[in-house]
C-alpha cells in the first residue's frame, strides 16, 4: 500500500509544479529536481496528474497514470506538459500564470477490475475512484474528482471514460474492454494568491 502524502508534502509538490512552469515559460528550461530539499517520498515512483484551472475553468491537464517516474520528475514533466502541450488548449502564457490555480493529483497504482462487465458499477465508488478504460489502442482516464464535479453515477462515469478513450459510451459492457480503478490524493493551491 502506498503511503499518502502529508499536507506539507502536497504543498511542496505544488511549489515544484509552479516553479517548473515558471522556469519553462520564462527561460524555456526544464528545472532539475534535486536542486531543492524535497521530502523522501518525492523519490518514490508515483502516478501523478497536474491540472491547471483559470477562473474555475480547465486550462490544461496532463499526467502519468502509472508509477513509471520518480514523483518529483513526474510532477515537473506533467506540470510543463499541462501548460504547453495539452492539445485541447493554447499554450499558457507567462502573463496568465498568475491567474492559474494548480491542482496536483497523486495516484495509487491502477487495479484492473476482474468482474463481469454488468457488475462494474458496483465496484466503483464515486468520489474515491478514478477510472481507466482500455481496449486495443484506445485508452481514456478520468480523475476521481471529475465524477464528483459532474454528479455522475457509476454508469455515467464508465460511459464518459469510454467516450474519453474514443470508444462508444457503452464499450465498458463488452468483454474485451479493460476497466481499472485508482485513487487520487488531491492538493490544490489557494485561489487567493497566497502562494
Among 139, 128, 132, residue whose Cα is nearest residue 184 = 128
CB 106 within 8 A of CB 71: yes
Among 126, 54, 116, residue whose Cα is nearest residue 91 = 54
What's the pTM? Answer: 0.89
The pLDDT of residue 36: 61
Where exactly does CATH 3.30.1490.150 map onto the chain?
Answer: 111-182
What lies within 8 Å, CB to CB, of 148 at 6+ separation is 126, 127
Q: Provide the pairing of β-strand 178-188 with 47-54.
A: unpaired
The pLDDT of residue 190: 86
For range 1-26, the mean pLDDT = 92
Where exactly does CATH 3.30.700.20 map onto the chain?
Answer: 7-107
The pLDDT of residue 194: 42
> For residue 3, what pLDDT band results from cuts at 50, 70 and 90?
confident
Residue 97 has pLDDT above 90, yes or no: yes
For 140, phi and psi rounded to 5 degrees?
-135, 150
The pLDDT of residue 32: 83
Residue 42 has pLDDT above 80, yes or no: yes
The architecture in CATH of the region 111-182 reads 2-Layer Sandwich (3.30)
> For residue 1, what pLDDT band results from cuts at 50, 70 and 90?
low
pLDDT in tens, 124-146: 999 999 999 999 999 999 999 99
The architecture in CATH of the region 7-107 reads 2-Layer Sandwich (3.30)
The pLDDT of residue 35: 52
Distance CA 166, CA 65 (A): 17
For range 106-135, the mean pLDDT = 96
CB 117 within 8 A of CB 172: yes
Q: Which residue did the predictor score with more confidence, 190 or 103?
A: 103
pLDDT in tens, 49-91: 999 999 999 999 999 999 999 999 999 999 999 999 999 999 9
Amino acid at each position: 500500500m502506498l503511503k499518502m502524502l502529508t499536507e506539507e508534502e502536497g504543498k511542496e509538490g505544488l511549489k515544484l509544479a509552479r516553479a517548473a512552469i515558471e522556469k519553462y515559460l520564462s527561460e524555456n528550461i526544464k528545472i532539475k529536481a534535486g536542486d531543492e530539499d524535497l521530502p523522501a517520498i518525492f523519490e518514490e515512483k508515483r502516478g501523478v496528474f497536474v491540472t491547471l484551472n483559470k477562473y474555475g475553468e480547465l486550462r490544461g491537464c496532463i499526467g502519468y497514470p502509472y508509477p513509471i517516474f520518480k514523483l518529483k520528475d513526474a510532477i515537473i514533466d506533467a506540470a510543463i506538459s499541462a501548460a504547453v502541450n495539452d492539445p485541447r488548449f493554447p499554450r499558457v502564457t507567462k502573463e496568465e500564470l498568475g491567474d492559474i490555480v494548480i491542482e496536483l493529483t497523486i495516484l495509487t497504482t491502477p487495479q484492473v477490475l476482474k468482474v463481469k462487465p454488468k457488475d462494474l458499477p458496483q465496484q466503483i465508488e464515486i468520489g474515491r475512484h478514478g477510472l481507466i478504460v482500455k481496449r486495443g489502442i484506445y485508452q481514456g482516464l478520468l480523475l476521481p474528482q471529475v465524477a464528483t464535479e459532474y454528479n455522475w453515477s457509476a454508469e455515467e462515469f464508465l460511459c464518459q471514460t469510454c467516450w474519453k478513450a474514443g470508444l462508444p459510451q457503452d464499450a465498458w459492457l463488452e468483454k474485451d474492454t479493460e476497466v481499472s480503478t485508482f485513487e487520487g490524493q488531491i492538493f490544490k493551491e489557494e485561489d487567493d494568491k497566497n502562494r
